[in-house]
Amino acid sequence: MAIRIPPTLGLTRPGPSNAPKITFAAKDTDVLEWNGDLLAVGVTEKDVVKDDNNNFTNPLLQKLDALLGGLLAEASSEEDFSGKSGQAIVLRVSGLSFKRVGLFALGQSASRAAAFVGLGEAIAAAAQASRAVSVAFALAFSADLSDEWKPAIASSIAIGIVNGIFDDNRYRSNPKATVLQSVDVLGLGSGAAMIKRLKYAQYVSSGIVFVRELVNSPANILTPGQLAAEVLNLTRNYSDVLSARIFDEEEIIEMKMGSYLGVTAAATANPPKFIHLCYKPPSGSVSAKLGLVGKGITFDSGGYNLKAGSGSNIETMKNDMGGAGAIFGAAKAIAEIKPLGVEIHFVVAACENMISATGMRPSDIVTAANGKTIEVNNTDAEGRLCLADALIYTCKQGVDKIIDLATLTGACITALGPSVAAAFTPSEELANEVLSAAERSGEKLWRLPIEESYWESMKSGVADMVNTGPSQGGAITAALFLKQFVDENIQWMHLDIAGPVWNTKKSVGTGFGVSTLVEWVLKNAS
């Protein structure tokens, strides 16, 4: 008799989303006259230089320190605050229009979006620690910035604040609500460009929070079916631009997706769901068609190549759908922004990789939808098997360019560490587009080579290919495998996000990928 698995294993029910609801506003208010809980000032090492009398030479810090009776200069000297990246000093003051003032350091210079996102996260940590309801941020060096750059900087800081303040409480018995309600931007202008960019930051942040909630959800809650349900809910909320089709197992068989079915069809009580979400602009013609493909393994046991031992990280394998989460988070943000001239196909072959008497075994041969055969020499390299059929399907949608995102290899983490994703593409044009988008978003990508000579190690004695190569260059051979399932006339990039998708210290998802994807889509829009 088959064992019935309850749909709510453990009787767990998630609480409501506690996504931050923060109002961002750009104001022309003088920094010294702002009224609220925490005044945060971003500084570089140059800004905190003092003269022989221990007075700041920066004009804004001079005025602020004079208002505080020299307290800021004194405290920065006592705490050896030199403006090095990551340093912060926060003081409780009295008798002023603000309750606390803080200096937050950016290092020698501030020229990259990543630094400003980090500044926002640091401000959020201080706001959370002091239970601040209202925050304002200013930059000591704002006079040195071009008007064109200021809105983008404010946007990066705003995204960092939301990401830093968000605390996923849905599975706690005694959740604490986020108290921060408003953030004012001071000294960076308040025109239409700034207002538009702050709205953009809120849209992107909402997508990031959505991804983090998906990735944080345990596998007994976020099954393939529930992931599909979340996507359908998106389409209900944004029915003017989003539509979706969910394919069940019988339809997947009809589409001959044997590579995908080999992973999931016989080894789990939770059936697979092939998800196709489509964005179409609210008006006008379409000049670019894009494909975004995400790895959607809602739990990865490794199959018969079971993840075992203290270094296997099986306890974090709910995050193996981080690629799927990233593209759906981007979809949410894009549905808010509503770019024109671009059609986007978001595709995920969602499933679990489990073990059963009828599950996929090492040495089994599976056949992808394009007829190519794959000898499975490792059941723990299952994500690429699902992506293979998802890429074939996406190519058939008439797209010009495809990016796939996947928590694909430990080899990538070994090569680039926990904070940097790897980018693989044979297209110089697409490489420039996506790496530039990452630079604007503050997310870290590094391009690695597609070394074609390594493909020899992926050939099978009995099938067209095996699904894993030797231990050396594992991230490269994984990219080479995926390349076999993409039409040559379509520009394609593979992003291995195994490292930055997960915050190991806090054991939560990061929402990595959303910002870059949205920036890339907008550059392809009309």
Summarised one tens digit per residue, pLDDT across range 198-250 is 999 999 999 999 999 999 999 999 999 999 999 999 999 999 999 999 999 99
The active-site residue out of 197, 318, 384, 401 is 384
Q: Domain of 292: which CATH number?
A: 3.40.630.10
CATH of the domain at 94: 3.40.220.10
**Residue 236 annotated in active site:** no
Tell me: do 513 and 367 sit in the same domain: yes
Q: Which one, of 337, 335, 524, 526, lies nearest residue 434 by Cα?
A: 524
Residues 241 and 326 in one domain: yes
Rounded to whole angstroms, what are the CA distances from 507 to 114, 123, 158, 217?
21, 21, 23, 12
Q: What is the pLDDT of residue 2?
A: 45
pLDDT of residue 453: 97
Single residue among 157, 188, 219 that ends a domain in this structure = 188
Task: List all residues 6 or more positions away from 415 whose beta carbon is below 8 Å from its beta carbon.
Answer: 422, 448, 475
First-residue to last-residue Cα distance in the chain: 58
Do 256 and 323 have their domain in common? yes
**Element of type H or E holding 41:** strand 36-43
Instruction: Using 70 as the pLDDT threshold, list the residues of the chain that sit under it.
Output: 1-8, 265
Q: Which of these three, 153, 188, 223, is where a domain ends? A: 188
Both 142 and 213 in one domain: the answer is no
Q: Judge whether 195 lies within some domain.
A: no
Q: Are residues 303 and 429 in the same domain?
A: yes
Phi-psi region of 199 (alpha: psi -120 to 50; beta: other; left: phi over 0): alpha
pLDDT of residue 520: 98
Per-residue pLDDT at 110: 83
8 in any annotated domain: no
Q: Which domain holds residue 267?
A: 208-524
Q: Which of 50, 112, 307, 372 is catalytic?
A: 307
| Annotated catalytic residue 150 | no
Domain assignment present for residue 200? The answer is: no
Residue 7 in domain: no
Do residues 328 and 346 touch, judged by C-beta distance below 8 A? yes
End position of a domain, from candidates 155, 188, 221: 188
Are the C-beta atoms of 294 and 496 separated by less than 8 Å? no
DSSP 177-241: -----EEEEESS--SHHHHHHHHHHHHHHHHHHHHHHHHHS-TTTS-HHHHHHHHHHHHHHTTTT
Looking at the fold, whether 104 and 244 belong to one and the same domain comes out as no
Q: Is residue 408 a contact partner of residue 496, using CB atoms and an 8 Å limit?
A: yes
Cα 193 to its chain centre, rounded Å, is 25
3-state secondary structure of 310: coil
Predicted pLDDT at 294? 98
Tell me whether residue 407 is in a domain: yes
For residues 216 and 295, membership in a common domain is answered with yes
Question: So what's the pLDDT on residue 21?
Answer: 94
pLDDT of residue 3: 45
